[in-house]
Chain A
């Protein structure tokens, strides 16, 4: 069964600090891994998409890494801002499954002033 596990479940950091969120997956055959940011009560917004051959991708202060061998990904947030407070969801796509994605439970990040 395809699974995506995220850690930690929640995280509180001070504004300006960096943080790293983790994602482990068992999805086969692997197609791509995505990180989404979801503000409370809003729809998820894409941060990065990585395929098997990519191991790093950046989007502003967000940098995602992928290790396809160990089936692990991380999302690093640099110089956090109050607006980074949100849930971050790791999503993995099965090569044969179109948009039948497997979602992680998310990491709820709170950035405090």
Chain B
């Protein structure tokens, strides 16, 4: 069974540009969530999608957005990149089980460097 696939694995952008990251969940998983990991702040929740609907959103500016497609694949977009957006962006998928969430399976992440 294939795991969570994130693309691209590494990318370099300059300030002011925008970036789109992609996540393909484990087959059958309908919930996809995104997290940002930096050395200073650790792991922080960005947003979660289920059945193409945003279920929860973390405390990030509106420059961070996402969406989920009918096949459960998800993308996140960061516009007007800032140096502080340099981070490892992790995607995780799970079987949605109502309020009690199932086990989370993480992808290997997309390492974004903003110059």
Contacts and interface: CB of A to CB of B under 8 A. Distances in A.
Q: By CB atoms of chain A within 10 A, which of B31, B43, B108 has the most? A: B43
* Size class of the contact patch on chain B: 20 to 34
B44 A43 contact: no
A82 interface: no
B42 interface: yes
A80 interface: no
Interface in A29-53: 31-32, 34, 36, 41-46, 49, 51
B42 A98 contact: no
Interface residues of A, number: 27
A46 B103 contact: yes
B90 A44 contact: yes
Contact of A43 (B4, B31, B42, B101): B4
A25 interface: no
B-side interface mostly: strand
Nearest to A100: B56
Nearest to B46: A100
A93 B111 CA distance: 25
Contact of B106 (A44, A95, A100, A102): A44
Interface string B19-32: 00000000000010
Given A93-B101, A98-B48, A104 B42 contact: yes
Given A42-B108, A43-B106, A45-B106, A99 B100 contact: no
Nearest to A103: B43
A97 interface: yes
A3 to B, nearest CB: 12
Nearest to A51: B100
15 contacts: A31-B100, A34-B104, A41-B109, A42-B108, A42-B109, A43-B92, A49-B103, A96-B99, A97-B56, A99-B31, A99-B45, A99-B104, A100-B56, A100-B58, A105-B42
Interface of B: 4, 31, 33, 35, 42-45, 48, 50, 55-56, 58, 88, 90, 92, 94, 99-101, 103-109, 111
Interface of A: 31-32, 34, 36, 41-46, 49, 51, 89, 91, 93, 95-106
